[in-house]
Amino acid sequence: MLRRILTPLLIALSTLSLTLVGTTATAAAESAERSQALRQTTLYYDSGQAAEYIDDVSAAVDVWNASVDNVRLEPAPAGQRAEIRIIADDGWPRAHLGPVRPGGQVTVWMGRQGTAEGHDPVRIAAHELGHSLGLPDTKPGPCSSLMSGSTGGVDCTNAEPNAAERARVEAYYGSGAAGQRAADGRVVVDRV
C-alpha cells in the first residue's frame, strides 16, 4: 500500500526536479547570451557610396563578424547615422583610425588605385575596416597579417585578421570598454 502511494509521488518529484534543472540550465544559457549582448558593441556602417565595392565590403564585414565577439558590424537602417561610412573614390585606399564608438563616425575610402594595381578588394575592405576598429598598419609585414596591407603583395588575398589583431579589437570593444578610448581620427593612407 505504501509503495503504491510513494512510487507515483517519487516519480512526480523526480520529474519536477528534472524540469527545474532543465529550466535552470536554460535560464543560465539565456543569461549568458544577454550578458554577451551587453558586452557587445554594435557599430553601423553605410556602404551606399561604395559603388562597385559593395559586395567586397559585405564580405569583409562578414570576416570581422566571424572573427570577433565584442563588436558587431551591421548595415545602418534607413535614416540612421552610420558610425562607419564607406566611399569609393579614385585615390589610394585609406581610413580614419579608430576605434570608432557608437555615435562617433569614421570614413573608409575604397580607393580604386589599390585594385587597379591588383590588390584584392575584400582584403582592402577588411584592412580598412580594421583601421576603423582601431588597428594601425603593421608594415612591412607578411600576408598572414591583415594589417600589413599592401606590403603583403598583390598576390595576397588573406582577408582574415590574425590572432593578435583579433585580440586587440576584442580589447577595444565590449566588457564595458566601449567609450573608454575615443577614435584617433587620423587618416591612415595604406601606401608603402
Active centre residues (catalytic):
128
How many other C-beta atoms lie within 10 A of the C-beta of residue 77?
8
How many other C-beta atoms lie within 10 A of the C-beta of residue 45?
24
* 8 Å CB contact between 134 and 169: yes
The helix/strand/coil state of 167 is helix
The helix/strand/coil state of 121 is helix
Sorted by sequence, the CB contacts under 8 Å of residue 47 that are 6+ apart come out as 53, 54, 57, 58, 75, 86
